[in-house]
Amino acid sequence: MSFQELYNKHCKQGHHYTYGTAGFRAHNSVLDTVMFTTGIVAVLRSIYLKSKFVGVMITASHNPPEDNGVKIVEPHGEMLVQNWEPIATKLANSASAGFTQLESALKAITDELHIDTTQLACITVARDSRESGPRLLAALRAGISVFSNVKIVDFELLTTPQLHFLTHTLNSSSSPSTVKESAYYDHFISMWNQLTQLHHVTELPFHLTIDCANGIGADKVKELIAQAGSVLASSLSTVNGKTDTFQLLNESCGADFVKTNQTFPANCSPEPSQLYCSFDGDADRVVFYYMDDKENKFHLLDGDKIATLLAKLLADLLHQCGLSDTLNLGVVQTAYANGSSTKYISDDLKIPVSCTKTGVKHLHHEAVSNYDIGVYFEANGHGTVIFSSKFVETIDIALQETSKTNKNKHESLLSLQLFSQLINQTVGDAISDMLAVVATLSILKLKPEDWDQCYHDLPNRLTKVIVPDRSVFVSTNAERQLVSPEGLQAKIDELVAKYPKSRSFVRASGTEDAVRVYAEADTTENAIELATKVGEQVK
Ligand code: NG1
Ligand code: ZN
């Protein structure tokens, strides 16, 4: 089919698209056009990067089943570089205006970037379990097929982090044609086995129930458990794994539901002191929780608790190797991190902590720029740990120099090395993060209550306000202060001053047409009152 025929078949006019925090996301019915143009963008990006594999993931993560979305993955697994986001937006909105507009926008871009569209493009694609996935994938593939010299690796159903990992693996491999989905399981199971064997972990200190949000993570984590062997198979089980009942996706379950409602998901019968976790719809986020044995209350162990647990283990290991002054470790958070966690990291762990704008691409960037070991998590459970090339070289050299007679140091060095591989460094990954947390708790022999003891969350409230135009809410200082609308920040400051230990901020969501209000304070009543009063100022 010609370019125009493909366009006519898949594109509709009239919708306005924006590349948001997590790519394009909307109701599936308006997404065919943007799938088509995202296919084109991926091809251009691959050619621009000298035929490296560029990934395209079709998912709407924690959003409702009828939504969908698409995001582009860079060759080494990062999110699309920010200066290409306007290109993606431009092509989508040109296509939405008409074929001629799309054609001329494409020409303007290829001319400006000197992209020869006859060169080879290499693309990986995958989708989550949504009903609209196959149709949208067809639109995406049509966009890709506008170009004749393309190699596509279609992984079909994957979690988002699997696609990031496999895209990176393909680009690093000398024989890309041999890279299959199994490379993901082989890698993480091998690291898990080596790390836990080194620490003589023969059983977990709890049973872990995984709520899979009825999403693609269910099939993939089951596959991993089945292949992993007895320690995991005997201590892990899954609920909410109905991937093929589309309307159940994220319904009363999943990481977003648990974090927002601070309660157990559907189909989970909690037992005291056992551990639970929830993935989101595309398994790039995870939060943990448990029920205590005294009051049978729900306790959330969110992204902040994950970050502190991992940062503490890594700091201890660095100390045991005598490398605390050589390799710098830091934690990156957003304004949504609970104030108690920030205080605990800096005052008790004495680890530097920085704050960035919402969206993992910002946290990732900050971690790469500042730290040899950068632990970054959003409070909602989206995050990972990244390790610099200096870290890799330093550990390699130290391992060679440390004779096995210094057994403790050798073990700590090896633990650091294995840990850096057990974490999916390309992007936050519910499965890999879960393995890292479970390994840490098993090595340190911690029960859920022990993990929870490190600090106590300040009571907090996150609400959403629908406004006529969220673009007027412009913030600064890592989104903690508003510069517009004029005068609003002063009113927020006035309200905050009235409550002990309080903090509140307002920002426009990057994924929903709404403004978010966050407040924390000394008591739950005060946090709710503060969020309500700030919310009233926003309307
Ligand atoms: P927005 O809608 O910009 O607040 C939400 C989450 C982010 C991130 C993105 C991407 C909160 C408060 N915000 O962003 O942390 O996960 O979605 O999915 O949780
Ligand atoms: Zn997600």
How would DSSP label each residue in 496-511? Answer: HTTSTT-EEEEEE-SS
Q: What is the C-alpha end-to-end distance of the chain, expressed in Å?
A: 50
- From the CA of 160, the nearest ligand is 2
Ligand located closest to 25 CA: 1
Could you tell me whether strands 286-291 and 275-279 are parallel, antiparallel, or unpaired per DSSP bridges? antiparallel
* Gap from CA of 66 to ligand 1 centroid (Å): 19
Q: Which ligand is nearest to the CA of 128?
A: 2
Protein residue closest via CA to atom 7 of ligand 1: 359
- Look at strands 150-157 and 121-127 and give their pairing: parallel
What is the best residue among 511, 515, 518, 520 to mutate for testing ligand 1's pocket, by most ligand atoms within 8 Å of CB?
A: 511
| CA 336 vs CA 169, 241, 287: distances in Å | 33, 29, 15
Beta bridge partners of 384: 376
Instruction: Supply φ then ψ for residue 516, to 5 degrees.
Output: -100, 140
Q: Which domains are seen in the chain, by residue range?
A: 3-180 (3.40.120.10), 209-301 (3.40.120.10), 303-452 (3.40.120.10), 460-538 (3.30.310.50)
Q: Which of 61, 278, 415, 432 is catalytic?
A: 61
Widest pairwise Cα distance in the chain? 72
Our answer on whether the CB atom of 479 is closer than 6 Å to any ligand 1 atom is no
* Backbone torsions φ then ψ of 211, nearest 5 degrees: -90, 115
Q: What angle do CA 254, 255, 260 make, to 5 degrees?
A: 105
Structural tokens at position 242: 């109905």
The one-digit pLDDT tens for each residue of the chain (539 residues) are 999 999 999 999 999 999 988 899 999 999 999 999 999 999 999 999 999 999 999 999 999 999 999 999 999 999 999 999 999 999 999 999 999 999 999 999 999 999 999 999 999 999 999 999 999 999 999 999 999 999 999 999 999 999 999 999 999 999 999 999 999 999 999 999 999 999 999 999 999 999 999 999 999 999 999 999 888 999 999 999 999 999 999 999 999 999 989 999 999 999 998 999 999 999 999 999 999 999 999 999 999 999 999 999 999 999 999 999 999 999 999 999 999 999 999 999 999 999 999 999 999 999 999 999 999 999 999 999 999 999 999 999 999 998 777 889 999 999 999 999 999 999 999 999 999 999 999 999 999 999 999 999 999 999 999 999 999 999 999 999 999 999 999 999 999 999 999 999 999 998 888 999 999 999 999 999 999 999 999 98
Hey, what are 500's tokens? 């002990």
Is 182 known to be catalytic?
A: no
The residue whose CA has the least distance to atom 3 of ligand 1 is 510
Q: Whose CA is nearest to atom 5 of ligand 1?
A: 511
Question: How many angstroms separate the CA atoms of 143 and 32, rounded?
Answer: 10
Atom 11 of ligand 1: nearest residue by CA position: 380
Atom of ligand 1 nearest to the CA of 336: 12
Contact 243, 218 (CB under 8 A): yes
The pick from 18, 21, 256, 262 for probing ligand 1's pocket by mutation, whose C-beta has the most ligand atoms within 8 angstroms, reads 21
Residues 6+ apart with CB under 8 A from 293: 272, 273, 449
Q: Is 22 in the pocket of ligand 1 (CB under 6 A)?
A: yes
Residue whose C-alpha is closest to residue 194's, from 446, 429, 438, 414: 414
Say yes or no: ipTM exceeds 0.95: yes
State CA 7 to chain mean position distance: 32
